[in-house]
Structure 1
Amino acid sequence: MSAVYINSASCISAQDTLNENLFQHLKPQNWGSIIKAIDPNYKEFIPPAMIRRMSKTVKMSSVASQHALKEAGIEKPDAIIVGTGMGCSQDSEKFLKNVIDNHEEFLTPTYFIQSTHNTVAGQIALGLQCHAYNFTYVNTSSSLEFSMLDAKLQITDGESENILVGSTDEQTERTMELYQLNNTIKKSEDLPFDFLNSKTKGVIWGEGSSFFVLGKNKTENSYAQLNDIQISNRLETDGVQGFIVDFLSKNNLTAHDIDAVILGFSGDSDSDEYYIKAMNVFPDSALLYYKHLSGEFNTASGFSIFMACHILKNQQIPEVMMINSTKKESIKNVLIYNHLLGNDHSLVLLGKV
């Protein structure tokens, strides 16, 4: 397959990622069990009358997608593809609360209409008056990877030239309560903790929205080449190294060709074993982690791809992300490995433009 280029990258997260000097403002987030995304000034991007009717995930996606399209110099993309794990959770909860409070009678349909997972992609298309291919992937932690794979296939097959691809997930009060009850989220007594050497179960939960314009042609603003993606729903810890080595071999690479590896350490003592196994494959690479900056959530990999794009473009690695002290003079290949609590494993290979 020929390379597909990432021609713009925009992210709203727990970090100030809309700032041009974002590397200088990265701060670890390990003092609370739930961390929220930093809200931009939505009034600069969305009419006030519309803001009131939008959930946070729609607002974040609207701003991030506008940023991405503007940076790429694209008015209307040939397709809009969005990945999300939880969709519009806020409106889903509001609708279900109305069902209970009103004893299933006299319900207004607004919250139900806005609660569907494809609301984000639909709202972006309405704003752009874009009638092209519009699709939403809901595949937990590999939702963005499936979206990018779809876009890559369309571009390499000649069906599209520029595609807007994004990911988004928001927090909701009731869902966070349930995650705390089933110990998905770390208990307060286990905070703070060392992400790389955690002895306790659970994660810090975050939220955010990341959007990219994938294109057929390289531009002056191109960040990276999207070389390949591989996804596996289930993996045994003993199979991780084979999973990675086979993927690299398919791309005519070895572990020594990978200059930086971004791993999704979440602080969950059980599922982080996968990343520890993966580290042993790369004795000569710069090893990085990122969920101490973004938190864990279904589409947290959007933050890692965003950071990888900036690392490749700037040829610089932020100190706050480094696991080891290895530094490369030139960063040509970056591999991102992510999963969510041991399920839905993904590998994304990016190359220098």
Structure 2
Amino acid sequence: MKTYINGIGCISTQKTFDTVFLEEAIHNNDENVLKIVSPAYKDFISPAASRRMAKGIKNGIVASAIAMKDAQIEKVDAIITGTGLGCIEDSEKFLKNILDNNEEFLTPTSFIQSTHNTVGAQIALLQQCKGYNFTYVNGAVSFESALLDAKMQIEEQEAQSVLVGGIDENGEYTTALFKLYGRIKQDNQQPYNLLESKTSGSVYGEGASFFVLENERKDNTYAEVLDIAIINTLEENEVESEITSFLKSNQLEISDIDALVLGFDGNIDFEIYYKNLAENAFAQTPVLYYKHLSGEYDTASAFALWMASKIIKTQEIPEIIKANSVEKPAYNTILLYNQLNGKNHSFTLISK
């Protein structure tokens, strides 16, 4: 069975809803932590319920609802989510309450909502979906793990339609720790231009991207998911041969790739993984990047898949995401490559 992307929904640090495709995107050079552009939550969630939900849950519910509407379906057979830090805001709240109240008289709400699988559970409750529901927490390949599972569910005919998504949110305290640890760029290093960065750390973000995968092609299909590969560790000089064999297993060569989406995040210590590919093997291929728009977070690659799906459907590449000036007459096969700090390498291949 083939796997098709039939619906997409994205809530991110750009206006990625109620627009055609990134025409309102802003390249922010001054912020090292990007904030979500909030949709009108009341259109999707009752205000009473919304008040008790962390933003990650709300963004997940809205993004999944947009994807379902886009796919023109009411029900799915399975819900699979990926998240790096889960509902980190509620985790922070609960830990703060423990300290503030000397471990006494604690309300359990924040604790209950702090688990990583809260988003998948809330979506299932709203849809009354009693099927397979799974959450992957695998660092920077959390979303790819979910996508791989969804593809296997469809291939094995366990499910005909799967809602798959990647969600992460920023927490104030966690963000401060990341700055301390050097995962986020320091506050006074503007402009934050990812392609010309000379500093370590990345520009951080948050978001929720959802996809409806189905086993049949429809008029509203975006792309076919051909293959996903996850590799824990690779040396800089091994990436190219790994990509070559990954493409070969799908009867493709580097010249067959119409666009390469790379996870440039401005971290000078690990940019070499991307630069090597862009300057050598894929020098004749349009190279795109996205973390200057979405920020870096564990499931940022879900934003990249949203972007690649849009490119295949619209056959257009917005200027704001181009990392080189190469163009192709048509964009039918797109390869996505991401890694975080030299680990958790992932390759995702989609085609028209």
TM over 0.5: yes
- 1:282 equivalent in alignment to 2:282: yes
What fraction of aligned residue pairs are identical, expressed as a percent? 50
- 1:201 equivalent in alignment to 2:239: no
For 1:319-330, list aligned pairs within 5 A. 319-330=319-330
- 1:91 equivalent in alignment to 2:95: no
Distance in 2, matches of 1:193 and 1:65, equals 31
Determine the structure 1 residue equivalent to 2:190. Answer: 191
Distance in 1, matches of 2:21 and 2:284, equals 27
State the SS of the aligned residue for 1:309: helix
Determine the structure 1 residue equivalent to 2:105. Answer: 106
Distance in 1, matches of 2:212 and 2:334, equals 19
Determine the structure 1 residue equivalent to 2:5. Answer: 6
Distance in 2, matches of 1:27 and 1:46, equals 27
Task: Report Cα offsets for 1:271-290 as digits up to 9, x if no partner.
Answer: 11110122222132111111
Structure 1 residue 238 displacement after superposition: 1.4
Determine the structure 1 residue equivalent to 2:249. Answer: 250
For 1:52-91, list aligned pairs within 5 A. 52-91=51-90
Contiguous gaps of at least 5 residues in structure 2 = none
Distance in 2, matches of 1:278 and 1:301, equals 18
Task: Report Cα offsets for 1:150-186 as digits up to 9, x if no partner.
Answer: 0100101111100000110000110011011111111
State the SS of the aligned residue for 2:244: helix
Single out whichever of 23-32 and 78-87 deviates more from structure 2.
Answer: 23-32
For 1:93-242, list aligned pairs within 5 A. 93-242=92-241
Distance in 1, matches of 2:174 and 2:118, equals 19
State the SS of the aligned residue for 2:73: coil
The number of aligned residues is 351
Single out whichever of 306-315 and 100-109 deviates more from structure 2.
Answer: 100-109
- What is the identity, as a one-letter code, of the residue corresponding to 2:22? F
Determine the structure 2 residue equivalent to 1:36. Answer: 35
Structure 1 residue 315 displacement after superposition: 0.6
Distance in 2, matches of 1:308 and 1:153, equals 21
Distance in 1, matches of 2:90 and 2:242, equals 38
For 1:260-339, list aligned pairs within 5 A. 260-279=259-278, 280-339=280-339
Structure 1 residue 19 displacement after superposition: 2.5
Task: Report Cα offsets for 1:293-317 as digits up to 9, x if no partner.
Answer: 1110111011110000000001111
- What is the identity, as a one-letter code, of the residue corresponding to 1:332? N
- What is the identity, as a one-letter code, of the residue corresponding to 2:166? S
Single out whichever of 194-203 and 251-260 deviates more from structure 2.
Answer: 194-203
- Is contact 2:9–2:209 with CA below 8 Å preserved after alignment? yes
State the SS of the aligned residue for 1:193: coil
Contiguous gaps of at least 5 residues in structure 1 = none
Distance in 2, matches of 1:278 and 1:85, equals 26
CA RMSD, aligned part only?
1.0
- What is the identity, as a one-letter code, of the residue corresponding to 2:259? A
Q: TM-score, normalised by structure 1?
A: 0.98
Task: Report Cα offsets for 1:109-161 as digits up to 9, x if no partner.
Answer: 11111111000000000111111100000011111111010010010111110
Structure 1 residue 233 displacement after superposition: 1.2
- Is contact 2:315–2:331 with CA below 8 Å preserved after alignment? yes
State the SS of the aligned residue for 1:282: coil
Runs of 4+ in 1 over 6 A off after TM superposition: none
State the SS of the aligned residue for 1:22: coil
Task: Report Cα offsets for 1:66-115 as digits up to 9, x if no partner.
Answer: 11111112211000000000000011011111111111122221111111
Distance in 2, matches of 1:87 and 1:220, equals 34
Distance in 1, matches of 2:66 and 2:208, equals 12
Structure 1 residue 21 displacement after superposition: 2.2
Distance in 2, matches of 1:90 and 1:194, equals 28
Structure 1 residue 30 displacement after superposition: 2.3
Structure 1 residue 242 displacement after superposition: 1.4
Distance in 2, matches of 1:302 and 1:47, equals 27
State the SS of the aligned residue for 2:185: coil
Q: TM-score, normalised by structure 2?
A: 0.98
- What is the identity, as a one-letter code, of the residue corresponding to 1:150? D
State the SS of the aligned residue for 1:171: coil
State the SS of the aligned residue for 2:188: helix
